[in-house]
Chains A and B, each alone.
Chain A
């Protein structure tokens, strides 16, 4: 644009700063503090073929100014996701701000672990890192405005799509429930069997040891000429 006057640039800068400030203020609500070598793990119990999206943002404690810096260049977070069998599904290093996605292929407890990769002790003199975390599972992970724009859906079609996704999630959860109930039933039946066999075995051992005791003592006393 030819002849952009000096008065326009501050407006653009101001607008961008305002937008950034608003974003920072209301981005990803929940946060917690972790230490330097500390590893924080979260568990997500999900049915299979469910997508999980995690967004995080880190802020470092500045000891001099006694405030959290807005962003931490050079600091990375290592994200590790394990499936219910202990196999690693995702193990990657991200920057100070990142987004990780994975889809479960087995139903059960998936473990998401985060720890910082900082080795520079000087940076962490204060010892605190603020991590904003947001984990969305299944239907909540869908970005509806994006889907509407991509598939060119009307409002009613988008609402119907959202309801379909919710119902699909309910169905998956119920399938998972059936699988869990079967596991629970197998465990209970195994306990039942074990208690049954144990009581029979205990009775048999008791009887056998009783008989052995009596015979042994009888032969002992006969040898000692006491009986």
Chain B
């Protein structure tokens, strides 16, 4: 085999290796999920985390009942890292002490007939960098570090907006519940009033119809 072919072969494999490395999905990231938790149900989510990664779990109950849920976070050995009962909103940060599958569960088992909507945000490690093959040897220029700090600030703005939206959704669901309850209640109470007042009159008449008495008691 000519030498150039062998050299081309070697470089071909190196290029392929490099391309494959670039295509490997980077670690870290966030999962934001809103799901419905039926009554008497428990739903669990799992994630494989490497040792030393800083993770944050944040959850909020949006609709349903007293807007509370049980939450439980366990490490790969089953040790409970975080456990709270009937919490409406909480945020928990921890550093993974060992490799493995971490599990967190939301439970609505204490509720008999209200299903809840729960939002959670599970952040594992840092967000992947903008440039996947970034091997920064040189420091960021002033413009670039300004961009990075603006990016971080905007991320926290978006995060606050999300929490505000969830609280507003909570308030709006309560207001809509109140509206429908007022509608049903007013119609129901008007009907009850009519039925009771007509019924009272006929009941009273029936007291005087049985026997002819001279009592002047007109009624309570």
A, B co-complexed: yes
Q: Which residues of A contact B (CB under 8 A)?
A: 1-4, 8, 11-12, 15-16, 19, 22-23, 25-33, 40-45, 133-135, 137, 139, 144-145, 155-156, 158-160, 162-163, 166-167, 169-170, 173-174, 176-177, 180-181, 183-184, 187-188, 190-191, 194-195, 197-198, 201-202, 205-206, 209-210, 212-213, 216-217, 220-221, 224, 226
Contact check, A206 vs B193: say whether CB atoms are below 8 A apart: yes
* Contact yes or no, A194 B179, CB < 8 A: yes
Residue of A whose beta carbon sits closest to that of B216: A226
Instruction: Name 27 interchain pairs, CB-CB below 8 A, sorted by A.
Output: A8-B13, A12-B13, A15-B20, A19-B20, A19-B23, A23-B24, A27-B25, A29-B124, A42-B34, A45-B165, A45-B169, A133-B31, A155-B144, A159-B144, A159-B148, A169-B158, A177-B161, A177-B165, A181-B168, A184-B171, A184-B175, A188-B175, A191-B178, A198-B182, A205-B193, A213-B201, A226-B208
Per-residue A-contact encoding for B162-204, CB less than 8 Å = 1, 0 else:
0011001101100110110011001001100110011011001
Contact between A43 and B201, CB atoms less than 8 A apart: no
Give the number of residues in B that approach A within 8 Å (Cβ atoms): 74
Q: Looking across the interface, which residue of chain A has its beta carbon closest to that of B43?
A: A32
Q: Check: B218 CB closer than 8 A to any chain A CB.
A: yes
Decide: A43 near B34, CB < 8 A? Known: A3-B1, A224-B208, A226-B208.
yes
Q: Which residues of A contact B85 (CB under 8 A)?
A: none
Q: Which residues of A contact B169 (CB under 8 A)?
A: 45, 180
Residues of A near B12 (CB, < 8 A) are 1
Q: Give A199's nearest chain B residue, CB to CB.
A: B186
Q: Are A184 and B168 in contact (CB under 8 A)?
A: yes
Give Cα A176 to B16, complex, Å: 46
Is B179 within 8 A of A191, CB to CB?
A: yes
- Given A187-B176, A194-B179, do A213 and B197 touch, yes or no (CB 8 Å)? yes
Tell me if B27 is interfacial: C-beta within 8 Å of chain A: yes
Interface residues of B (CB under 8 A from A): 1, 5, 8-9, 12-13, 16-17, 20-21, 23-27, 29, 31-36, 43-48, 117, 122, 124, 130-132, 143-144, 147-148, 150-151, 154-155, 157-158, 161, 164-165, 168-169, 171-172, 175-176, 178-179, 182-183, 186, 189-190, 193-194, 197-198, 200-201, 204-205, 208, 212, 214, 216, 218-219
Contact of B151 among A133, A163, A198 (CB under 8 A): A163
Decide: A190 near B179, CB < 8 A? Known: A156-B143, A162-B151: yes
Give Cα A12 to B124, complex, Å: 33
Q: How far is the CA of A69 from the CA of B163 in the complex (A)?
A: 38
B-side interface mostly: helix
Residue of B nearest to A135 (CB): B33
Question: In the assembly, what is the distance between CA of A205 and CA of B201, in Å?
Answer: 15
Contact A220 B25 (CB under 8 A): no
Known contacts A163-B151, A202-B190, A217-B218; A43/B24 CB under 8 A: no
Inter-subunit contact B165/A187 (CB<8 Å): no
Q: Are A173 and B179 in contact (CB under 8 A)?
A: no
- CB pair A31 B47 closer than 8 Å: yes
What is the chain B residue whose CB lies nearest that of A201?
Answer: B190
Query: A1–B10 Cα gap in the complex (Å)?
Result: 11
Give the distance in Å from the alpha carbon of A11 to the alpha carbon of B151 in the complex. 42
Give the distance in Å from the alpha carbon of A31 to the alpha carbon of B130 in the complex: 25
Instruction: Tell me the minimal C-beta distance from A194 to chain B in angstroms.
Output: 5
In the assembled complex, the Cα of A197 lies from the Cα of B189 at a distance in Å of 13
Q: Report the Cα distance A177→B160, complex, angstroms.
A: 13
Contact indicator B24/A194 (Cβ below 8 Å): no
**Known pairs A166-B151, A191-B178; A145 contacts B132 (CB<8 A):** yes
In the complex, are the beta carbons of B122 and A159 less than 8 A apart? no
Q: Which residue from chain A places its CB closest to the CB of B24 in the assembled complex?
A: A22
